[in-house]
Amino acid sequence: MINIPKGTKDVLPQDAYKWHFIEDTAAEVARVYNLKEIRTPVFEHTELFQRGVGDTTDIVNKEMYTFNDKGGRSITLKPEGTAGAARAFIENGMSSGVLPAKMFYITPAFRYERPQAGRLREFHQFGIEVYGSEKPDADAEVIFAASSFLQKLGVKDVKLKINSIGCKTCRARYNQALKEYLAPNLDKMCPVCRDRYGKNPLRILDCKEEDCKKITAQAPRITDYLCDECAEHFNAVQAYLKAGGLEFTVDPDIVRGLDYYTKTVFEFVSGGIGAQGTVCGGGRYDGLIEELGGSHIPAVGFAAGIERLILLMENTAVPFPEEGKPDIYFAGMDDESRRVAFSLALKAREQGIAAETDHMGRSVKAQFKYADKIGAKYVAAIGGNELEEGAVNIKRMADGQVQKVNFADINAYVLNGK
Ligand code: ATP
Ligand code: MG
């Protein structure tokens, strides 16, 4: 037997309703926030992610599924959704269209990571992208959209943490201070952080190694180094969050895993799924579009991990609404009544009624049992008498109530009782 690749998962038919609930909720948030869907390819030129995600990140350094295609081009399966959306925005000249461009996506993403609960090699993200506004209210709107998504799902005990990582100017000053602080302890840090020290010291705050975490606990805080503009922006974002009644804490350790962030960064974190607690992360990335060859277009967005959300909801007993069951089951006794049952089911479906009939050659008794198992609301058993009369007793499975209905009136009867 051939097994599923490590770090990937099937969504089986009996669980698909959980995904539909998440996707429908995402679409509903998108509708009320006026976000339009963007779909981009699952693979892109590797360079897009090297530039757009950043070559000092774990994603680009360790986690990408990269291969040469038959034409010798370096191709990478998308490890996240933003870079592709940004590329499409630039390539399709959207900066000269209506701004802000407000978009959302639901996409698979691929990262070569060590699989564990809430961490997969193929996972899915719901994300939003708002391009064209540098204003703090755009950051706040994106955060509220994420919050509303989680709230509509019924997710409990998720905390919002925000931070600002400044702009090029203030980050340079901060990096200097951080490096001075870290220098005496550099030999105690992990090799990855020693490398980050030279390339992108801010990333050290994101390290999950205990030794590094101990050292960075007392490190200078970026929020003490923000330039006037960044500090003002950060204050304004907080004022919008407060005005909308959203609780949050400022956490200077939130720096996000991607290189393209500027100013606001945020995470929604849950205690309900252990170490992989971040269900949604986002922020502002004003430099990204330019980095990818576009004009200066400020941007803000987030991505939420769908598998992590499902895991969290399962672990904390948040209910998923079940999907519809068949409205009516048509049982048939012999060849002729089976053909009638078959065509009555077809006619019902034409009217939008979910109808089922037998394909297993089961006895009428076994068909009733099956109808009960699949949760059919009504059962109509067709035999010789019914064919003669052109009418059938329809049984309501919930209470056993029976009603005689002419074949021609079945659809109306079922629709009425829906
Ligand atoms: P983490 O710190 O958990 O590695 P990250 O910073 O790499 O997360 P992002 O790149 O911001 O995560 O992705 C946004 C969201 O996508 C995460 O908050 C998480 O919910 C989800 N996610 C990221 N990587 C994985 C993965 N390997 N498996 C499942 N979900 C993931
Ligand atoms: Mg990661």
Q: Where is average pLDDT lowest: 11-15, 18-22, 52-56, 279-283?
A: 52-56
- What is the pTM (predicted TM-score) of this model? 0.93
Res 257: pLDDT: 64
Task: Judge if the beta carbon of residue 158 lies within 6 A of ligand 1.
Answer: no
Cα(343) to centroid of ligand 2, in Å? 53
**φ and ψ of 239, to 5 deg:** -65, -40
- The percentage of the chain sitting over the pLDDT mark of 90, rounded to a whole number, equals 86
Buried b (16+ CB within 10 A) or exposed e, 215-243: bbeebbbbbebbeeebbebbebbbebbee
State how far the Cα of 393 lies from the Cα of 254, in Å rounded to an integer.
65
Res 220: pLDDT: 94
pLDDT in tens, 158-197: 999 999 999 988 988 999 999 999 999 999 999 989 988 9
Is the peptide bond between 100 and the residue preceding it cis, with omega within 30 degrees of 0?
Answer: yes
Res 203: pLDDT: 85
Query: Which of 192, 308, 309, 312 has the most ligand 1 atoms within 8 A of CB, as the residue to mutate?
Result: 308
Q: At what angle do helices 136-153 and 228-243 cross, to 10 degrees?
A: 40
State how far the Cα of 35 lies from the Cα of 211, in Å rounded to an integer.
42
For 187, which DSSP code?
Answer: G
Res 256: pLDDT: 78
Q: Are 332 and 341 in contact (CB under 8 A)?
A: yes
* Two structure tokens written together for 63: 């986690």
Res 202: pLDDT: 87
Cα(257) to centroid of ligand 1, in Å? 9
Phi-psi region at 342: left, alpha or beta (left = phi > 0; alpha = psi -120 to 50):
alpha
State how far the Cα of 39 lies from the Cα of 106, in Å rounded to an integer.
8
Shortest-distance atom of ligand 1 to CA 80:
10
Cα(304) to centroid of ligand 1, in Å? 8
pLDDT in tens, 186-245: 999 999 899 889 888 888 888 888 899 899 999 999 999 999 999 999 999 999 999 999
Map tokens 């598998």 to a residue.
307
Task: Judge if the beta carbon of residue 308 lies within 6 A of ligand 1.
Answer: yes
Mean pLDDT computed over every residue of the chain: 95
State how far the Cα of 174 lies from the Cα of 165, in Å rounded to an integer.
9
Q: At what angle do helices 136-153 and 306-315 cross, to 10 degrees?
A: 50
Q: In the chain, what is the straight-line distance between the N-terminal and C-terminal CA atoms, in Å?
A: 44
Cα(175) to centroid of ligand 2, in Å? 22
**φ and ψ of 80, to 5 deg:** -165, 175
Task: Judge if the beta carbon of residue 82 lies within 6 A of ligand 1.
Answer: no
pLDDT in tens, 292-330: 999 999 999 999 999 999 999 999 999 999 888 999 999
Q: Judge whether residue 344 has pLDDT over 70.
A: yes
Q: Judge whether residue 8 has pLDDT over 90.
A: yes
pLDDT in tens, 368-417: 999 999 999 999 999 999 999 999 999 999 999 999 999 999 999 999 98
* Two structure tokens written together for 297: 């277009």
Task: Judge if the beta carbon of residue 328 lies within 6 A of ligand 1.
Answer: no
Q: Give mean pLDDT, residues 138-165.
A: 96
